């Protein structure tokens, strides 16, 4: 077993860490998938109240950024006439600012403005009857692309150029994971593992002194398992071995077929989510160049002909330790 471990433990987490508490799980449904929170059960834990707060936070995010809801802020933006400036809630504005940053830095491999392309391939709320024609792809591309947008971060305004459809599915889920971790912290729960549909954040420590261990998504027999200590870290994975070819290359308008599983470890699930999508779109060589340039911690499984190749970025390689060394370190804590 290969292990990835952060170099330091956050000393602030010990102020609220309690040994020997049982770990419980609470879960539900959101964003077409499931959410799950694992945390120590303290004597004062108000589980119904906490569950209600989690569900309320998720509902607020969906009301802003869901492209499946006809009354969401995102859907209203998509329907706005050309030239209209639309005010954004603070969460939406934060996600949009990050999305546009990754779009620029990834050379357009990540793009929050490809809702029209997502729809014609049948991955959005608008049903598709079959594979799109080249003419259909060209038409969808013509009214897509982040470069058509104007965004004012200070005033939280986004300009609809006309006919452009946003799709934040490559970043909103990661943001929601971060948001739940922040909500737990605000309620006094600084030690927890939060997951939404495979995107995870680990905060603090388990009651046994271990970090929150998670295994990177790995198709069987394609690579050796890699287990990550999610201590004040997040991980997101993009690829096709679970959901098929659902990632669209904004530059070509076609589905990505080479990326089996691309995982990014980051301090934020939102950024990990966006970068995992961007890197999975890039061909393996340019993906590696981009990941190294950005200093990202990446494990990628990509197809090369009939074979699957694994690549681990230098930043992630720097986190790898032997299992016996990691267990010894955990025991000493």
Q: 257: domain CATH number?
A: 3.10.520.10
Three-class SS state of 128: coil
Q: How far apart are CA 64 and CA 75, in angstroms?
A: 9
Q: How far apart are CA 168 and CA 75, in angstroms?
A: 11
Give Cα separations from 276 to 89, 110, 205, 225, 320 (angstroms): 25, 9, 25, 19, 20
Decide if 129 is inside a domain. no
Asked if the model's pLDDT at residue 243 lies above 70, the reply is no
Decide if 290 is inside a domain. yes
Asked if the model's pLDDT at residue 64 lies above 70, the reply is yes
List helix spans (H) across 143-268: 172-186
**pLDDT bucket at 304, cuts 50 / 70 / 90:** confident
> What would the pLDDT profile of 23-53 be if each residue is shown by its tens digit?
999 999 999 899 999 999 998 899 999 999 9
Asked if the model's pLDDT at residue 110 lies above 80, the reply is yes
Which helix (H) or strand (E) covers residue 96, if one does?
A: helix 90-105
Render the burial of 45-73: b for 16+ CB within 10 Å, e for the rest: beeeebeebbeebbeebbbbbbbeeeebb
Decide if 106 is inside a domain. no
Decide if 133 is inside a domain. no
Asked if the model's pLDDT at residue 326 lies above 70, the reply is no
The pLDDT of residue 257: 87
List helix spans (H) across 165-237: 172-186
Asked if the model's pLDDT at residue 276 lies above 70, the reply is yes
Decide if 175 is inside a domain. no
Helix axes 47-65, 172-186, angle to 10 degrees: 150
Asked if the model's pLDDT at residue 329 lies above 50, the reply is no
Asked if the model's pLDDT at residue 244 lies above 80, the reply is no
Which residues contact residue 264 at a Cβ distance below 8 angstroms, ignoring those fewer than 6 apart? 235, 236, 237, 271, 272, 273, 275, 276, 279, 296, 297, 298
Decide if 25 is inside a domain. yes
The pLDDT of residue 221: 75
Q: How far apart are CA 192 and CA 318, in angstroms?
A: 25
Decide if 66 is inside a domain. no
pTM: 0.93
Range of the domain at 230: 2-50+189-323
Q: How far apart are CA 88 and CA 22, in angstroms?
A: 41
Decide if 89 is inside a domain. no
Task: Please give the distance of CA 5 from its chain centroid, rounded to a whole number.
Answer: 20
- With tokens 């906490």, the residue in question is 50
Which residues contact residue 82 at a Cβ distance below 8 angstroms, ignoring those fewer than 6 apart? 160, 161, 162, 163
Q: How many domains does the chain have?
A: 1
Q: Across the strands, what pairs with 85?
A: 159
Q: Quick one: 6 exposed, middle or buried, by C-beta within 10 A (0-12, 13-18, 19+)? A: middle
């Amino acid at each position: 077993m290969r292990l990835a471990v952060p170099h330091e433990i956050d000393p602030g987490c010990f102020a609220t860490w309690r040994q020997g508490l049982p770990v419980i799980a609470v879960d539900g449904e959101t964003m077409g998938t499931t959410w799950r929170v694992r945390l120590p059960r303290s004597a004062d834990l108000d589980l119904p109240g906490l569950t209600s707060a989690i569900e309320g936070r998720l509902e607020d995010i969906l009301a802003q950024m869901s492209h499946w809801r006809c009354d969401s802020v995102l859907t209203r933006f998509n329907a706005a006439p050309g030239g209209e400036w639309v005010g954004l809630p603070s969460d939406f504005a934060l996600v949009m600012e990050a999305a546009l940053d990754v779009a620029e830095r990834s050379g357009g491999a990540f793009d929050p403005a490809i809702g029209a392309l997502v729809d014609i391939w049948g991955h959005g709320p608008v049903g598709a009857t079959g594979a799109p024609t080249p003419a259909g792809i060209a038409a969808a591309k013509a009214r897509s692309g982040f470069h058509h947008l104007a965004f004012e971060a200070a005033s939280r305004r986004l300009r609809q150029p006309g006919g452009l459809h946003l799709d934040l599915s490559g970043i909103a889920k990661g943001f929601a994971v971060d948001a739940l971790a922040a909500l737990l912290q605000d309620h006094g729960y600084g030690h927890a593992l939060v997951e939404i549909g495979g995107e995870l954040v680990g905060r603090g420590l388990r009651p046994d002194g271990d970090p929150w261990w998670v295994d990177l998504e790995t198709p069987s027999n394609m690579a050796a398992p890699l287990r990550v200590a999610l201590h004040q870290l997040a991980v997101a994975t993009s690829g096709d071995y679970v959901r098929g070819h659902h990632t669209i290359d904004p530059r070509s308008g076609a589905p990505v077929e080479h990326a089996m599983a691309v995982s990014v470890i980051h301090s934020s699930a939102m950024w990990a989510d966006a970068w995992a999508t961007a890197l999975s779109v890039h061909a393996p060589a340019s993906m590696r160049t981009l990941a190294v340039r950005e200093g990202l911690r990446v494990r990628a499984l990509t197809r090369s002909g009939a074979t699957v190749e694994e690549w681990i970025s230098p930043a992630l390689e720097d986190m790898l330790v032997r299992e016996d060394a990691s267990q010894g370190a955990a025991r000493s804590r």
